[in-house]
């Protein structure tokens, strides 16, 4: 029993994912950072086979995942030579890397959006792909109202279409033909939160998980807030700064992309607390020497019994990409399980734990510790 | 429907508790820091009537709770004049304040231990007490093997008896005669973790909740560790310092008392993680100008996916006594509910959320967020 | 021997300054936060008489300093009733409060810029003012090339003129007529760093001290960097976040004003280190409930011997306005001393310690601890 | 022009020192962490030749510095093969490693104290040693009243003699015979603070620098306090925790050794502030996985102008041993310069910057930034 996977976006997360899966296959390390690693699932991490990777950076397309990983993280992490077998193909651009310091081009440049989508669907068919994971750089974008609205924009080659939506659309087409496949969206673009996408997937035989993989300070904040809420403490304010030196932080210096991220970062506050505590929670800046190990500073202040004023501060240095790669190891397996079960649309019990902004769009955020209970229940696991 | 309460130990926690209950009755403040304040329970915080308070400090006995509270916290918190109605009576000493900078004496000095216990049982009968809360200064002590062992030590006036055990024994006697009463132990002395005490209470009609009220960094650490464990991160080490300037921190400069506290503080690590991560978790020091607002510094380091090394730091300035007073508002109500329900012995689902070292002694520690779910279930609450 | 002072900008800093001076006169508190309080200077803090205050907020003009201070800080700090004697007059606006949430107007609305300047110079003459302190909200502005350039812009009523420049010009005119007076600029607008202003003052009999009073994290960072530099540690990066809830932080959400502040905050890095370490140092955000007590988070990373990598983090909650008010108590006295000594232009040894961006414009930043030595030397003080 | 050096104590500091000097000779790295590296001194770091090393650990004596360094730090730092030329000889024990988890023995076991001292003096003569550096594990010990008292204790083989005193005595004898040599004491045992030792050295031709090399949080605290003092802020309290996993932290779990360290750590508070602010400053604990990279947490609280209350927190992860090794590179050179200049006794301007407790014993602590100015003056350096 194996899972055939395609990755979209050959950045640092993809490199960590590929290297990590390879090292797990080689028995070279423990599966730390993979939440369900100790539980018995139908698929083990080692059952994941990466059959393709896509990017739009002209310097990456045509190279192997090994070449790219060596350049991105070769000084700090081991890069197994088996990554040489992963070929990086050209994907859909649609301006998703606009303003980034590299030259890029998409399949749509030569074939149009419609053509590019068809070609991807065909490729995935020939590769017999089970799951596609979207880990491109954060882009600015918004939800479509309806499946028809999305369909219309695609067919008209219309403006406002994000690369993520185009990829998701390709997966839906492919899944209809094949009878089942899944799309995991680990960036903020609303897909599992887009009624249009979820309806489209529910009509077809596809599953979408999303949006924005929950790593770093956001899930920790959710659990901290739950901790406060359960003691009926009155939060006076929450401040959370984030600064890093990887490509995604560079991309977030663009206000449109930053707004996307702020949305998924601060969404849980009022859901968990039951009121909208004043907060400043956003990716704050880019500083290259920090690299992938971002710096997070958080401060929250609250009233305890007798209106006593308490202050809590949290600081962290967190490796951004490995954290996301680790939860993707679960998400890929859970996506495949959902396909095996014949599910369609999106799956809240999975999204609730793994995503910053769990779809569907009308769902409520919860703490992650409670979401983990829901996840285990969905899986039929105990303890 | 009301609850008649006796407090043992008229320190800062008692003062905050008394002032807070009075202010809630006056409608002067919100019940922040009372976990179940927003839930519908048979008793509201305002239904608690404090009918007596005990202490062994010669400078406090005979005074009113108002006088003591004014001195302890009058500069920083309002002290309602209704506290003048709470009289401070002399309790059992048994050396529990040894080494502290005040002169003290116990009922046993004149009447012997046996006599003191009988007198307390009689007093509680005449006051028709429902619940007794133990908030004396942390003392050094250990569990008895059996109800008979405890009984024998009491009757023999034997050495090794803590004040807390003597009080708990008095409550058991009183509850047997009356048909139901409860003892809440919010300090580290093992009572709910003492098989002797729990058996004694199960034989009688008494309920004991304990041990060591979960406030400050310990419950936060439990939830942090659960957060880490659910992501299968490998904790390299945990450091947690605590320093404060209140009487309890002064008492903890005594190695015997400190060891008691360290035990309840660090107990949860291996239960929650599933392995015993290296840790240094203890009350570290006393510095008078910090007052009741302790300083906590925590550092934990872990391996994430691909063995990436992350660091997290937590700092806090936390008002120690109000936090404990706030959860006592729930514990008193829950204790009374348990008595109303005819329960006996100790109650894990309550202890698990509210206590640092939840009894009975063979129970496993969990995160507090999960314990809160268990608590709500025990209460028949949802959401 | 007394000092007659006019304040420009009746915000929180002015209120703290006025209240503090009044309390010192009343013997009600110690002069904490006044650097030279323990040294013997020709003027004591109590020798300062505040003879007038200016603002452009229509809700403040015509009120007393007492009324404004009660509103701004009456809940948290005592406001002496002697502040009722300080009348708030209308000053020059020139759009300096643009975008702020209050209605404002300046003298120039009715009399033109030239007329407004003449009126102020006359007023100061009739009040016999010695020193004028500029503490208006941070504005966006740039230096003039020359005294003539500034003069020309004033006379032409030209665009690009800041309120601060107009006030400084008025002081220069007044000082020429009177034979000596001083202007203390505690905001980022370049005045002591404007060759035009300094030349104008040198030609007349005026002294200007500036720019941007050094409080909060910036002077601490200067000393931290000196500490690192003296150990020849190689700074990998410096991150410094600042967030607050006072009017100045609100004003800094405007990019133009923010850029002014970033300039004075990060200026010292390369001067002190000898190389330009990568840094992200800026006022980051506004969150109202933080009030005047801003939150600062700093992280710096460096290489030690054998290329060992060390990390340092600094967090702080700092009252912004009292800190500035405290150093103004010195600056006013030093400004008067400089006038007494017959000095003209700007005075680096004073600016170097008290200012974030010490004028003149070609001077080098140093650590504050070393600058303090220079200050004491200038004053003829030892030890 | 070269410096011939003997190291006492082949622990992690010695390994870093030896490896660092070797790498500097090889041109393999920059001299970060060496304070005077950018200044022109008569000796460069590369002019230091390590001619011998001493230890009492039976597992180290007879090995090469390379073998020991590989074991202590080989996984994390490069160890140049030239360390194979440094032979580890047996030194004086006198119980200095009592309680440590290794078997140890000293020269005095076979030859008596007097004999051991003579042998070392002879060895240093044959090796033509210029400078001896003491970096053994922190030991418990106290100052002698007089040179005669020390002499008497040595000759009588008396109790209470520390290994450090015995080594220092050997150096004095050797220096008398040779006409000049120097001893650098980088541990807390009072030598430069022992009038007995300083007098002995002044009588002979020897120089002693000490005590306790100033690395980590202590010098940073000194500069922080100077920063506060210069603003006349009133420090309410200072808390400073230190925890690490190296041998020295293990040794500091012994109360006697810990008291030595607390003394040198907290000595500067009242000297710099001018009053004794309440403080808790000590090495707090040992936790093996922290290794040589200790964790420091500091909190200080102060009153600013108008009695506004500010809070500052400092956290750090600092490599302990490289920091000390780096300043030893200067101290060895400065010691040799002092010998070249024909100086005797101890040298405050050097100690004041490099030592936690600068000798002589009646000297006042200052901030390190000011001490650096004094050091440069002593050296005739500017800027």
pLDDT of residue C383: 53
Q: B305 and A313: CB-CB below 8 Å?
A: no
Q: A32 and B230: CB-CB below 8 Å?
A: no
| Partner residue opposite A305 with nearest CB, options B16, B232, B310 | B16
- In tens, the pLDDT along D27-68 reads 999 999 999 999 999 999 999 999 999 999 999 999 999 999
Average pLDDT, chain D: 95
Residue stretches of chain B with pLDDT short of 50: none
Q: Is the peptide bond before D148 cis (omega within 30 degrees of 0)?
A: no
- Phi/psi of residue A131, each to 5°? -135, 140
Q: Give C299's contacts in chain A (Cβ within 8 Å).
A: 295, 297, 315
CA distance B84 to chain D (A): 33
Q: Could you tell me how many CB contacts below 8 A there are between chain C and chain D?
A: 191
Q: B20 and A367: CB-CB below 8 Å?
A: no
| Residue D5's pLDDT band (cuts 50, 70, 90) | very high
| Residue D279's pLDDT band (cuts 50, 70, 90) | very high
Scanning every residue of chain C, which has its alpha carbon at the shortest distance from the alpha carbon of D28? Answer: C306
**Crossing angle for the helix pair C108-127 and C147-155, to the nearest 10 degrees:** 120
Cβ neighbours for B346, distance < 8 A, ≥ 6 positions apart: B192, B198, B201, B207, B208, B209, B210, B359, B360
Q: Give D329's contacts in chain C (Cβ within 8 Å).
A: 305
Q: Give D319's contacts in chain C (Cβ within 8 Å).
A: 304, 308-310
> D59 in contact with C at a CB cutoff of 8 Å?
no
Q: C311 and A299: CB-CB below 8 Å?
A: no
Q: D236 and B295: CB-CB below 8 Å?
A: no
Q: D35 and C305: CB-CB below 8 Å?
A: no
Q: Give A236's contacts in chain C (Cβ within 8 Å).
A: 289
Which candidate in C27, C39, C231, C313 is best for mutational testing of the D interface (most D CBs within 10 A)?
C231
Backbone Cα Rg of chain D: 20
pLDDT of residue D383: 52
Q: B77 and A16: CB-CB below 8 Å?
A: no
Q: Which residues are bridge partners to C240 per DSSP?
A: C281, C298
Average pLDDT, chain C: 95
- In tens, the pLDDT along B295-312 reads 999 999 999 999 999 999
Which candidate in D280, D316, D317 is best for mutational testing of the B interface (most B CBs within 10 A)?
D280
Q: Give D272's contacts in chain C (Cβ within 8 Å).
A: none
- In tens, the pLDDT along D305-335 reads 999 999 999 999 999 999 999 999 999 999 9
DSSP state of D47: G
Euclidean distance between CA atoms C28 and C16, whole angstroms: 14
The mean pLDDT values, 10 residues at a time, for chain C of 383 residues are: 97 98 97 97 98 97 98 96 97 91 93 95 97 95 91 85 96 96 97 97 95 93 95 97 94 87 81 94 91 97 98 97 98 98 97 96 91 96 72
Q: Minimal CA–CA distance to D283: which of D136, D137, D141? A: D137
Whole-prediction pTM: 0.96
The per-residue DSSP string of B156-178 comes to TT-TT--HHHHHHHHHHHHHHHH
Cβ neighbour number for residue A337 with a 10 Å cutoff: 20
Euclidean distance between CA atoms D41 and D159, whole angstroms: 42
Q: Which of residues 345-374 of D touch C (CB under 8 A)?
A: 367-370, 372-373
Residue stretches of chain A with pLDDT short of 50: none
Q: Minimal CA–CA distance to C374: which of C346, C357, C349? A: C349
pLDDT of residue D156: 85
Q: Minimal CA–CA distance to D372: which of D346, D316, D325, D334? A: D334
CA distance B210 to chain D (A): 29
Q: Give A313's contacts in chain C (Cβ within 8 Å).
A: 315
CA distance A205 to chain C (A): 46
Strands (E), C181-290: 181-185, 206-209, 234-244, 279-286
pLDDT of residue D197: 97
Q: Which residues are bridge partners to C86 per DSSP?
A: none
- In tens, the pLDDT along D184-239 reads 999 999 999 999 999 999 998 999 999 999 998 999 999 999 999 999 999 999 99
Scanning every residue of chain D, which has its alpha carbon at the shortest distance from the alpha carbon of B299? Answer: D295
| Residue D267's pLDDT band (cuts 50, 70, 90) | confident
Q: C232 and D35: CB-CB below 8 Å?
A: yes
> A276 in contact with C at a CB cutoff of 8 Å?
no
Query: Neighbours of B (≥3 Cβ pairs closer than 8 A)?
Result: A, D
Q: Which of residues 232-261 of D touch B (CB under 8 A)?
A: 236-237, 239, 241, 243
Q: Minimal CA–CA distance to C136: which of C257, C291, C259, C263? A: C257
Scanning every residue of chain D, which has its alpha carbon at the shortest distance from the alpha carbon of C373? Answer: D370
């Amino acid at each position: 029993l194996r899972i055939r996977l395609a990755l979209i976006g050959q950045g640092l997360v993809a490199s960590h994912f590929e290297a990590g899966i390879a090292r797990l296959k080689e028995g070279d390390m423990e599966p730390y950072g993979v939440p369900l690693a100790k539980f018995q699932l139908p698929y083990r991490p080692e059952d994941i086979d990466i059959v393709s990777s896509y990017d739009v950076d002209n310097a990456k397309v045509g190279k192997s995942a090994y070449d790219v990983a060596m350049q991105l993280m070769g000084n700090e992490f081991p890069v197994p030579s088996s990554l040489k077998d992963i070929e990086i193909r050209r994907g859909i651009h649609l301006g998703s890397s606009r303003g980034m310091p590299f030259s890029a081009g998409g399949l749509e440049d030569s074939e149009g959006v419609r053509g590019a989508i068809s070609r991807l669907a065909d490729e995935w068919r020939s590769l017999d792909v089970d799951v596609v994971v979207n880990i491109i750089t954060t882009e600015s974008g918004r939800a479509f109202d309806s499946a028809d609205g999305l369909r219309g924009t695609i067919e008209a080659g219309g403006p406002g279409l994000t690369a993520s939506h185009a990829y998701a659309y390709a997966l839906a087409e492919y899944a209809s033909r094949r009878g089942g496949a899944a799309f995991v969206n680990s960036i903020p673009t609303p897909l599992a939160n887009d009624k249009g996408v979820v309806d489209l997937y529910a009509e077809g035989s596809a599953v979408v998980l999303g949006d924005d993989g929950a790593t770093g300070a956001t899930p920790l904040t959710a659990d901290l807030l739950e901790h406060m809420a359960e003691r009926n403490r009155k939060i006076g304010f929450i401040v959370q700064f984030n600064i890093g030196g990887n490509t995604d932080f560079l991309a977030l210096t663009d206000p449109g992309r930053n707004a996307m991220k702020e949305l998924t970062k601060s969404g849980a506050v009022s859901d968990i607390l039951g009121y909208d505590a004043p907060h400043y929670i956003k990716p704050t800046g880019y500083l290259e020497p920090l690299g992938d190990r971002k710096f997070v500073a958080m401060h929250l202040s609250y009233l305890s019994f007798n209106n006593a004023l308490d202050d809590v501060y949290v600081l962290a240095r967190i490796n951004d990409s490995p954290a996301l790669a680790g939860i993707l190891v679960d998400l890929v397996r859970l996506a495949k399980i959902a396909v095996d079960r014949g599910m369609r649309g999106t799956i809240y019990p999975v999204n609730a734990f793994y995503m910053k902004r769990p779809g569907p769009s009308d769902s409520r955020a919860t703490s992650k510790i409670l979401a983990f209970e829901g996840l285990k229940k969905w899986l039929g696991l105990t303890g």
